[in-house]
């Protein structure tokens, strides 16, 4: 057996200048992350504490989506609106405008939360699911810990002023990715521009989505705005172009207009200055390797994980991907047996080594054929 390295991808060409001032946006804190590779493309004070305001509602919807996914909750389930929930619609906060003793479906409450940013809908959903908003906040914190939001604590379902409802833009970006990755069908609601609530005792109320990027035809399909007097304006936003998605989160924007323009600036900067490459998709990207004494002459190898790499465009010419294995691989070979490594290099430095596994079982040929094959190899050097 001879050890060799097979070059799969040599270089990519796409060079662009890379220059960025430290504070690219007029915000107190901001972060830009590539959705697939998790590469942080830009950050400015990403770990300072913020009050997430209505971005809190991302987690509120995640709790409901998770219960629906586990068949513990249905979109058709109805909850009775308490006076506690109704009072928020009477206090000047963003509201769905539900009434006391209304029976409202989970689906309508979620649409009221996601599109209309209804604080009253948040409380009605929280009380319906957990019995009280306090108990629901405990569920939110358990989920935050599961996701890895290490600098976050939720104290209510809406994000209304509370000193113990805090987070960071890094954690909000992490939560946003979790939402998109785990609930793709439900996530489509975040792109809805309007929601009409056929309210009790009055004409239907039609409200527009507060996310300004949805109206700009730039590929935005989420996620959530926020505002508190103490925090000013915030936005968790995302754009998808072709198959690539970038997430940006900023907080402390001084005005609505700056929140919109600077969030778009962050997202566009990410697309303009970086590229993301799909190196391998779990069980879908196949690498063909030679075998020895097997009933097949080749075997397809796969990775068990998705792997993407994001690079500055000026660095893409230095990307190389190699297959490394002792080959040809001697049969018998068992399915899921580790048979090779996929080596990813940038500037000749290894950035990732991915194990490759056999996608099928290959049995050894019978004794007679094995003997003939071995003699051929000895005489002709042809395995």
- So what's the pLDDT on residue 9? 42
- So what's the pLDDT on residue 23? 57
With beta carbons less than 8 A apart as the criterion, state whether 255 and 234 touch.
no
- So what's the pLDDT on residue 216? 95
Alpha carbons within 13 A on the beta-carbon side of 268? 12
Sign of the four-CA dihedral 83, 86, 87, 88: positive
Tens place of pLDDT for every residue, the chain, 383 residues? 334 344 444 333 333 333 344 557 899 999 999 999 999 999 999 999 999 999 999 999 999 999 999 999 999 999 999 999 999 877 778 999 999 999 999 999 999 999 999 999 999 999 999 999 999 999 999 999 999 999 999 999 999 989 999 999 999 999 999 999 999 999 999 999 999 999 887 899 999 999 999 999 999 999 999 999 999 999 999 999 999 999 999 999 999 999 999 999 999 999 999 999 999 999 899 999 988 777 888 999 999 999 999 999 988 888 999 899 887 898 899 999 999 999 999 988 999 999 999 999 998 875 545 545 555 555 555 54
- 2-13+279-380: CATH, from 3.10.180.10, 2.60.410.10, 1.10.287.70, 1.10.3720.10: 2.60.410.10
Residues labelled as active-site residues:
54, 57, 117
CATH number, domain 29-253: 3.40.710.10
- Rounded Cα distance, 222 and 206, in Å: 19
Token pair of 162 as six digits: 């509370």
What is the residue extent of each domain of the chain?
A: 2-13+279-380, 29-253
- Rounded Cα distance, 198 and 204, in Å: 4
| Predicted TM-score of the model (pTM) | 0.88
**Which contacts (CB < 8 Å, 24+ apart) does range 101-106 have?**
102/200, 103/78, 103/79, 104/78, 104/79, 105/75, 105/76, 105/77, 105/78, 106/64, 106/68, 106/73, 106/74, 106/75, 106/76, 106/77, 106/78, 106/79
Question: DSSP string covering 161-178, please?
Answer: S-TT-BB-HHHHHHHHHH
């Amino acid at each position: 057996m001879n050890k060799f390295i097979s070059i799969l991808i040599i270089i990519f060409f796409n060079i662009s200048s890379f220059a960025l001032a430290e504070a690219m946006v007029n915000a107190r804190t901001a972060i830009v992350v590539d959705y697939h590779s998790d590469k942080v493309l830009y950050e400015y004070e990403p770990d300072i504490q913020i009050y997430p305001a209505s971005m809190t509602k991302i987690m509120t919807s995640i709790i409901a989506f998770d219960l629906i996914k586990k068949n513990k909750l249905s979109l058709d389930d109805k909850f009775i609106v308490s006076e506690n929930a109704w009072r928020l619609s009477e206090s000047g906060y963003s509201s769905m405008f539900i009434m006391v003793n209304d029976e409202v479906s989970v689906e309508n409450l979620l649409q009221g939360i996601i599109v209309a940013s209804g604080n009253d809908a948040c409380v009605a959903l929280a009380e319906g699911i957990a019995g009280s908003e306090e108990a629901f906040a405990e569920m939110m914190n358990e989920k935050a810990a599961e996701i890895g939001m290490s600098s976050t604590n939720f104290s209510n379902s809406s994000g209304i002023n509370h000193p113990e409802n805090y987070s960071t833009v890094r954690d909000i970006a992490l939560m946003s990715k979790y939402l998109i990755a785990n609930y793709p069908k439900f996530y489509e609601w975040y792109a809805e521009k309007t929601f009409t609530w056929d309210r009790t005792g009055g004409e239907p109320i039609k409200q527009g989505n507060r996310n300004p990027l949805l109206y700009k035809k730039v590929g935005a399909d989420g996620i959530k705005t926020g505002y508190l007097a103490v925090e000013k304006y915030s936005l968790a936003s995302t754009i998808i172009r072709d198959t690539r998605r970038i997430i940006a989160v900023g907080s402390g924007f001084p005005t609505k207009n700056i929140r919109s323009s600077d969030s778009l600036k962050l997202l566009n900067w990410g697309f303009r200055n970086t590229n993301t490459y799909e190196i391998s998709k779990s069980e879908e990207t196949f690498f063909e390797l030679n075998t020895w004494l097997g009933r097949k002459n080749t075997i397809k190898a796969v990775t068990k994980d998705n792997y993407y790499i994001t690079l500055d465009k000026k660095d893409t010419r230095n990307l190389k991907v190699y297959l490394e294995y002792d080959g040809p691989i001697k049969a018998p070979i068992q399915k899921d047996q580790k048979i090779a490594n996929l080596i990813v290099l940038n500037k000749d430095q290894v950035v990732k080594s991915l194990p490759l596994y056999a996608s099928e079982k290959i049995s050894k040929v019978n004794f007679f054929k094995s003997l003939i094959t071995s003699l051929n190899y000895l005489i002709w050097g042809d395995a």
